[in-house]
Amino acid sequence: MFAICVIATHSWSIINLFRDVASWSLSLSVWDLLGSVSYTLISILFEALVVFLILLLLIGVLLPKKWLGNRSITISTVIILESTILAIVFKPYIAIGFSMGTFQLLSLLVIALLLIAILLIRNKRIESIINRIVEPLTTLAFVYVFIDLIGLIIVLIRNL
């Protein structure tokens, strides 16, 4: 499950990071640029840890054991991907503040996504497709964490 959290948080954040690095490179030295990217990577890793702990709490405490079985990877994948999609879609609204209409729309989307998750989880074929997609992504997640650890080393060197 941690690998799924890493993939979801890193994918979106790295896309945004690449957008910003171009402008940073015009005004920062290479060492400062590495520092800025390293701080960003550390915050992404922290975000992945927080998402993982919340998901672990959600799945472990709130969901009944009979729903899980050996489908915790599928359930967590669906929940994380749907949450990531919601965060991407509602990012502009979060920046300007929610209005009541936006909150109602968000509530309807969350309910719709929960229904989709339930339908996906009950379908064995879709469950096997999700598991086949998640397995190779685990390697990418370890690469992301390794890069994050390099970023942590850079931050430690800069601050010592």
Interval 99-107 mean pLDDT:
66
Q: Domain tally for the chain?
A: 1
| Predicted TM-score (pTM) of this structure | 0.72
**Residue-range definition of the domain harbouring residue 74:** 2-159
For residue 54, the model assigns a pLDDT of 79
Query: Does 39 have pLDDT greater than 80?
Result: yes
Instruction: With beta carbons less than 8 A apart as the criterion, state whether 25 and 33 touch.
Output: yes
Interval 129-135 mean pLDDT:
81
- Highest mean pLDDT (candidates 20-24, 34-38, 118-122, 125-129): 34-38
Query: Does 48 have pLDDT greater than 60?
Result: yes
For residue 15, the model assigns a pLDDT of 83
- How far apart (Å, rounded) are the C-alpha atoms in residues 87 and 93? 10
